[in-house]
């Protein structure tokens, strides 16, 4: 199965990607993982990306595209993969088509995790991150025993700027603006399936696997 996972911030893509990839025995490939591997490995692409990352700028599409192309050429991705974080726009989707076409392959399916914006704000704005160990707690779903203190290491918890409600709503606006055309692009090609991402992690995973199983060749 060659799968792309899309969904707004807070939809649970990272968590679901792990379970889905494990179930179908395919590698989970995220742009974050690719960036880190290239930077830590000191590759030419990693050095190029690091310049932008150190400056706080977005890594240009051409660098990201080249990293994805190299990653999909590795042996473990020959028989399938799950892509999380790529493509982010229609231009990158066209690049992915070209990468797969060059190896005589095509995309199997795109899974869209659908969750309403109010729920995303509720999920993300309740997160608190440990300054010491980085563990993320949630005031509603997974609260620490003592307010603002990490159960794991005793570190101080803080509210990341990215998790403030107004920032989350802005991130959702940006996501909708950039990704709506991508979702439409795959829907028009009958490659898109949508599942409700509300409920427990286990419920959403079961929903995803049931929906994707027909596409596993």
Give yes or no for a contact between 26 and 81, defined as CB atoms under 8 angstroms apart. Answer: yes
The DSSP secondary structure of 28-75, one letter per residue, reads EEEHHHHHHHHHHHT-HHHHHHHHHHHTTPPPPHHHHHHHHHHHHTSG
- Average pLDDT of the chain is 92
**Is 59 among the domain residues?**
no
With beta carbons less than 8 A apart as the criterion, state whether 79 and 26 touch: yes
When divided into structural domains, the chain yields a total of 1
- Please give the C-alpha separations between residue 50 and each of 32, 41, 68, 142, in angstroms, as whole numbers: 12, 12, 16, 34
Q: Regarding predicted confidence, which is higher, 58 or 132? A: 132
Residue 172 and residue 170: Cα distance in Å, rounded?
5
In a domain, 142, yes or no: yes
Question: What positions carry a catalytic annotation?
Answer: 13, 88, 127, 160, 171
* 66 assigned to some structural domain: no
Asked if residue 199 is part of any domain, the answer here is: yes
* Per-residue model confidence as pLDDT tens digits over 23-71: 999 999 998 889 888 989 999 999 988 888 888 777 888 999 999 999 9
Q: What's the angle, vertex CA 66, arms to CA 94 and CA 181, rounded to 5?
A: 30
What span, in angstroms and rounded, lies between the C-alpha atoms of 120 and 133? 24
Containing domain of residue 143, as a range? 2-26+79-215
54 located within any domain: no
**200 is a domain residue:** yes
Question: 178: domain CATH number?
Answer: 3.40.50.300
pTM of the model: 0.85
Residue 207 lies in a domain: yes
């Amino acid at each position: 199965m060659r799968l792309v996972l899309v969904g707004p911030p807070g939809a649970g893509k990272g968590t679901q990607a792990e379970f889905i990839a494990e179930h179908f025995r395919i590698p989970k490939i995220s742009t974050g993982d690719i960036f880190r591997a290239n930077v830590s490995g000191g590759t030419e692409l990693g050095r190029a990306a690091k310049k932008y990352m150190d400056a706080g700028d977005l890594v240009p599409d051409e660098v990201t595209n080249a990293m994805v192309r190299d990653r999909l050429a590795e042996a473990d991705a020959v028989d399938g993969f799950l892509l999380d974080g790529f493509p982010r726009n229609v231009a990158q989707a066209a690049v992915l088509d070209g990468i797969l076409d060059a190896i005589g392959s095509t995309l199997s399916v795109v899974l869209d995790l659908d969750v309403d914006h109010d729920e995303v704000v509720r999920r993300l704005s309740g997160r608190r991150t440990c300054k010491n160990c980085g563990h993320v707690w949630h005031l509603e779903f997974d609260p620490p025993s003592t307010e603002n203190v990490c159960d794991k290491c005793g570190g101080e918890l803080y509210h990341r700027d990215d998790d403030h409600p107004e920032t989350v709503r802005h991130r959702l606006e940006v996501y909708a603006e950039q990704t709506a055309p991508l979702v439409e692009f795959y829907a028009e090609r009958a490659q898109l399936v949508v599942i409700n991402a509300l409920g427990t992690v286990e419920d959403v995973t079961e929903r995803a696997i049931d929906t994707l199983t027909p596409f596993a060749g």
